[in-house]
Chain A
Amino acid sequence: MTNKYLKIMLVLVPSMAVALFGFNNCGRYGALQDSGSSDSSSLGSSSADEVNSEKLGLPYALLSAEQTLSSMLKLGNVTTASTAVINEYNSRYGSLAAGNDLSMVNGPLMLGSTSLAGEVCNSVVAQERAITDVTQRNFFGSINFATGVAGISDENFEAAVRGMARQFWGRNENMDELTMLKQYKTEFSDALAANVRTQTASASNLMLATCAAMLSAVDAISY
Chain B
Amino acid sequence: MKFIVYSLITLGIAGVLTELANAQVRPDISAANPTAMDQKARKIYERLTGTKLPADSPVIAQMVALLNKGDLAGAAQIATADPNFLNITVKLMALEMSTRDETIKTPLNDMVAGIIGVTRDQTDARELLTGNFYYVGSGTNVRVDLNADILLSNNHYADLESTRQDLAANLVRVEGQKIATSATTNVANPDPAGVLTSRAFMGAHALMGTNRRLVEYTFREFACVPLSEWADTGASDLRIGRDIDRFPAADHMKFLTSCKGCHTVMDGFRGAFANWDFDGMGLKNATVNTKGGASAFVIAADGNNVVTKMNRNNTVFPSGYVMTNNTWVNNAIRPANASFFEWRGSTSGETLGGTGVKSFGTLVANSRRFSQCMAKRVYKSVCRKELDTVANKEKLKQWGDEFEASGYKIKKLYENVATKTECLN
Known contacts A64-B104, A163-B27, A166-B29; is A43 also within 8 Å of B225 by CB?
A: yes
Query: Is there a chain A Cβ closer than 8 Å to B384's Cβ?
Result: yes
Question: Number of contact residues on B: which range applies?
Answer: 35 or more
Closest A residue to B21 by beta carbon equals A74
Contact between A29 and B105, CB atoms less than 8 A apart: yes
Contact between B52 and A36, CB atoms less than 8 A apart: no
Known contacts A54-B380, A70-B88, A138-B24; is A41 also within 8 Å of B224 by CB?
A: yes
C-alpha gap A79/B21 in the complex (Å): 12
Query: Is there a chain B Cβ closer than 8 Å to A220's Cβ?
Result: yes
Contact between A75 and B54, CB atoms less than 8 A apart: yes
Chain A hits for B105, CB < 8 A: 27-30, 32, 65, 93, 98
C-alpha gap A169/B164 in the complex (Å): 25
Contact between B101 and A35, CB atoms less than 8 A apart: yes
Contact between A166 and B28, CB atoms less than 8 A apart: yes
Query: Is there a chain A Cβ closer than 8 Å to B405's Cβ?
Result: no
Query: Is there a chain A Cβ closer than 8 Å to B345's Cβ?
Result: no
C-alpha gap A97/B88 in the complex (Å): 14
Query: Is there a chain B Cβ closer than 8 Å to A91's Cβ?
Result: no
Name B366-413 residues within 8 Å CB distance of A.
377, 380, 384-386, 388-390
Name A42-74 residues within 8 Å CB distance of B.
42-46, 52-59, 61, 63-67, 70-71, 74
Contact between B33 and A171, CB atoms less than 8 A apart: yes
Query: Is there a chain A Cβ closer than 8 Å to B40's Cβ?
Result: no
Contact between A171 and B55, CB atoms less than 8 A apart: yes
Query: Is there a chain B Cβ closer than 8 Å to A157's Cβ?
Result: no
Chain A hits for B52, CB < 8 A: 63, 71, 74-75, 168, 170, 220, 223
Query: Is there a chain B Cβ closer than 8 Å to A139's Cβ?
Result: yes
Chain A hits for B221, CB < 8 A: 41
Contact between B386 and A57, CB atoms less than 8 A apart: yes
Known contacts A66-B88, A138-B25; is A33 also within 8 Å of B385 by CB?
A: no
Q: From the candidates B39, B87, B384, B390, name the one contacting A43 in the complex (CB within 8 A).
A: B390
Chain A hits for B386, CB < 8 A: 46, 52, 54-55, 57
Known contacts A162-B29, A171-B33; is A77 also within 8 Å of B384 by CB?
A: no
Contact between A42 and B26, CB atoms less than 8 A apart: no
B residues contacting A by CB (< 8 A) are: 22, 24-29, 31-34, 39, 42-43, 46-47, 50-56, 84, 87-88, 91-92, 96, 100-107, 164, 220-221, 224-226, 229, 377, 380, 384-386, 388-390, 425
A residues contacting B by CB (< 8 A) are: 27-33, 35-36, 39-46, 52-59, 61, 63-67, 70-71, 74-75, 77, 79, 81, 86, 93, 98-100, 138-139, 159, 162-164, 166-172, 220, 223
Query: What are 12 A-B interface contacts by the 8 Å CB criterion?
Result: A29-B107, A42-B226, A54-B380, A54-B385, A70-B87, A74-B84, A77-B24, A98-B104, A170-B53, A170-B55, A223-B47, A223-B384
The 9 closest A-B pairs by CB, nearest first: A31-B101, A61-B384, A166-B27, A163-B27, A71-B52, A162-B29, A35-B102, A166-B55, A71-B51
